[in-house]
Amino acid sequence: MDIRKVSRRFGATPDLAARISIAIGAAKPPAVVQALDDVNLTIRAGEVLGLVGESGCGKSTLGRIAAGILSPTAGEVFWKGQNVAAMPSQARRDADLAAQMIFQNPMAALNPRMNVENLVAEAPSIHGMIRGNRADYVDDYLRKVGFDPTMKQRLPHQFSGGQRARINIARALAVQPEFLVCDESVAALDVSIQAQILNLFMDLREQLDLTYLFVSHDLGVVEHISDRVAIMYLGRVVEEAPVEEIFARPNHPYTQALLAEVPRIKPGKRQFQAVKGELPSPINPPKGCHFHPRCPYASERCRVEVPERREVAPGHISACHLNDSTST
Ligand code: SF4
C-alpha cells in the first residue's frame, strides 16, 4: 500500500446561514482538526510496519485510512499500484475486503446479541465467500486463532478478554484479507495475554502471508513485532527505518526523546521515558516543524519552515533540518 500526500481534516461544515455569518464577521469559522498533514508512507507486502506516536498524533486516523474505512481529505491511497478512489466498484470491494482492521476493544467491535458462529460467518456470507459448509468454514477460522469451535454457540460476553480478541481476529480473517491494520489491538489485555496474541499475529503472518500495519503507543510491543517502524508526530510521519536501525540510531529529535530509556537497575523489559512537554493541539499546530516548541535543537528556521523527508541511511528517512548538511 502506498499512502501519498494524504491529509485528513475533521470539522463541522457550516450551512449557508453559518457561512454568511462567518463572511460578515458575526460568527467564527468552526474549529478544524488537522489529524493528518501530507503523510507519505509505503507498507510493503509481507512486512510488519509499526506505527508509533503519542496519543492524539493521528496514528489511528492513518490506520483507518489504510484499512479503507475513512477517506482522506486530500492525497491518494494506492493498493497494488491502483488508486483506490479511482477503482471500479468490484475492484474497490475486493480492496476493501483485502484490508481489515482489528480494534482495541473487542467487546465494542462484536455485536453482543450474535453468537460466535454468526459473528465469524456474517461478512463472508454477505460477500458469497463460503463455498462449502458454513459451520466447517467458521470452525476452520476459529481453529486458526486457537479458539475451541465447540464454544461457538455462546455470546461474546461469556468469554474473557483474550478469547474475545481471538474471536475478533477470526472475524477479520474470515473475509480472507491480505493486510491487517491492528489499532492498539493488544493494549487492553493483560501482559501475559498480550504476549499470546502477539505470537498469534506472528504465526498467522507465516501461515497466511499477511502484511500488518501495527498501530501502538507501546514501544516494547512495536520493537518485538515490527520489521520497520514509522514515527508520527502531530499528523506527520517524522521518521521511518528498519526496527534495529531506529532503536539503535534514532535520527529525529522526537524519536530520540521517545526512545530514551528509563534507567533500570535490573535487566528485563525495556521501559521508555515520556517525552517532556505537552503534545500541541492539532486544531492550531505550531508552524514550521511541529516539534519545535519541545525540541532542544530548535532554531529560527524550524519555527517557519517544514523540514523535508531525507534519507539519512539506506531505508532510513527522517524529517529534520539538522540533516540538511549531512544528507546523502
Ligand atoms: Fe528540532 Fe528543528 Fe529538527 Fe524540528 S526541524 S526536530 S525543531 S531541529
Distance 226 CA to ligand 1 centre (A): 26
Residue 74's DSSP bridge partners are 7
CA distance 232 to 145: 31
Residue 327: the pLDDT is: 42
pTM of the model: 0.89
Distance 3 CA to ligand 1 centre (A): 24
Residue 232's DSSP bridge partners are 237
Residue 66 has pLDDT above 70, yes or no: yes
* Over residues 174-187, mean pLDDT: 92
Atom of ligand 1 nearest to the CA of 289: 4
Residue 15: the pLDDT is: 75
Backbone angles phi, psi at 200, to 5 degrees: -60, -45
Question: What angle, 0 to 180 degrees and rounded to 10, lies between the N-to-C axes of helices 191-208 and 134-144?
Answer: 120
Site residues for ligand 1, CB cut-off 6 Å: 252-253, 289, 291-292, 295, 297-298, 302, 307, 320-322
Residue 190: the pLDDT is: 87
Look up residue 133 and give its amino acid: N
Residue 262: the pLDDT is: 57
Atom of ligand 1 nearest to the CA of 297: 8
Which of 38-52, 157-171, 260-274 has the lowest average pLDDT? Answer: 260-274
Percent of the chain past pLDDT 70, that is, above it, reads: 93
Question: Could you say which DSSP state residue 5 is in?
Answer: E
Look up residue 139 and give its amino acid: D
Residue 136: the pLDDT is: 96
Distance 43 CA to ligand 1 centre (A): 26
Atom of ligand 1 nearest to the CA of 238: 6
pLDDT band at 266 (very low <50, low <70, confident <90, very high): low
pLDDT tens digits, 81-128: 999 999 999 999 999 999 999 987 777 778 899 999 999 999 999 999
pLDDT band at 265 (very low <50, low <70, confident <90, very high): low
Residue 32: the pLDDT is: 83
Q: What CATH superfamily is the domain 2-21+30-323?
A: P-loop containing nucleotide triphosphate hydrolases (3.40.50.300)
Which of 46-50, 109-113, 173-177 has the lowest average pLDDT? Answer: 109-113
Distance 183 CA to ligand 1 centre (A): 28
Average pLDDT, the chain: 90
- Provide the Cα torsion 220, 211, 93, 155; round to 10°: -50
